Amino acid sequence: MDIGVAEFAEDVRVFLEKNAARTANGAARSWGRGSDEVAIFRRERYARGGPEMAAAREWQRTRFENGFGWITGPAAFGGRELSRVHEMAYDELESEYTVPDISDLRIVGLSLVGPTLLAHGTQEQLELFLRPLYRGDLVACQLFSEPGAGSDLAGLRTRAERVDDGWVVNGQKVWTSVAHCADIGELLCRTDSHAPKHDGITAFLVDMDSPGIDVRPLRQMTGGAEFNEVFFTDVHIPDSRRLGPVGAGWKVAMTTLLNERSTVGSDESISAESALNIGWLTSLLDAVGKRRDPVARRRLAELYVARSTTDSLNARMLRMLCSGGTAGPEASVAKLMNTSNVTAAADFVSEVLGAQLIADNGDWGTFAWNELLLSTPALRLLGGTDEIMKNILAERVLGLPREAAPPSRSDDRR
């Protein structure tokens, strides 16, 4: 159904008023009131069957059944077939209400695995997974990274060997978000060790409760454990769960990664709004008696300019989408700029607070910032490292020569 953004927004407002409560204006973000948490990653893990995950699933189910669970998706699987602009309009309106946090469902499952499945899945897979995924019945994770591969995803070693009734998988994945509460995972395996490394990879959809899968939490600097390492020991996967042709896993992976870079560059993935809120940072200067410090004021002005520049870029992408275009390199640039802004804000706060950042003396709005500082290094890695993103922009947008390959081991020996 073709519906304008303004009319759509009216429908969204009716739905939210009926199903959620408005957030008290400014209460959550007023300095000295409420929680002073400033975090990017959650300290406590959502348990697979815990109340937080149950609430997230129920809210996604409510959104889906009212036509807001998959706004851009095909109608055949419960979507509205509307534009990304409509989806952004919904997100903006929902931010005014207090609703369960669905990021564990959304960032990986709905934004990465779902679109990949839609692009490469068989009809049987689409009918089996898409509606439950966007209805909140399934949680998905992304099983790509490995300990020995680093940023070279094509260097993965987890192996899938063909057997009569499917495949047997052995290996290890790492840095897997929400694997501890996921029902299914998008898995990349090496299926041909003799083919060029990009051609010997195959993608699968694996049930995370399959015998032989061991999910272990990884403790982060913040004290939380939102990521996991996942071990596969003789895990059987039916061939019907293969995603795309044998040996075409790299193409499947690229679909996922393109969606990942767009998602990581958006506001929904970096939820440390306080870190970039100039009002909050100004209040911090007042609280520690540095409002008139010329160095601090200059740094704060630089942060304001950087945030405003990023906002302008995002506004440009929105106008492009509204006019029927698609976001190009702007998404990659926005990811880099957002990372830079949050990192600069964390550095600014650490300079302003000094020892108060690491000493939990009970003062509101001081020690809480250390969790942000400890989280920011991850932003330079997730969704593609800053170095990889810069190479992509340099080579594919600016047309610069490709980066020289490192010398081989035989070259080193010479």
Q: Is residue 408 part of a domain?
A: no
Euclidean distance between CA atoms 126 and 135, whole angstroms: 14
Residues 120 and 93 in one domain: yes
The Cα–Cα gap between 153 and 305 comes to 36
User: Is residue 404 situated within a structural domain?
Assistant: no
Please indicate, yes or no, whether residues 214 and 237 belong to a single structural domain of this protein: yes
CA distance 119 to 191: 21
- Which H or E run includes 34? none
Query: Which residues form the domain of 24?
Result: 5-138
| H helices present in 234-369, as ranges | 249-264, 278-287, 294-322, 330-353
pLDDT below 70 — which residues of the chain?
1, 24-30, 42-45, 150-151, 261-274, 321-328, 383, 405-414
Q: Does 217 lie in the same domain as 271?
A: no
Give catalytic residue positions: 260
Look-up of token digits 């969790």: 371
Q: What pLDDT is recorded for position 26?
A: 42
In the numeric block, the tokens 């920011």 are attached to 376
Residues 102, 155: one domain?
A: no
pLDDT of residue 272: 53
The reported pLDDT for the residue numbered 411 is 44
Name the burial class of residue 179, with classes exposed (0-12), middle (13-18) and buried (19+) by CB atoms within 10 angstroms of its CB.
buried
pLDDT at 374: 87
Residue 351 lies in a domain: yes
Provide φ and ψ at 4, rounded to 5°.
-70, 160
Residue 45 sits in the same domain as residue 89: yes
Pick the closest to residue 36 from 389, 342, 369, 403 (CA basis): 369
- Residue at 410 is within a domain: no
pTM: 0.84
Burial environment of residue 56 by CB neighbours within 10 A (0 to 12, 13 to 18, 19 or more): buried
CATH number at residue 26: 1.10.540.10
Q: How many domains does the chain have?
A: 3
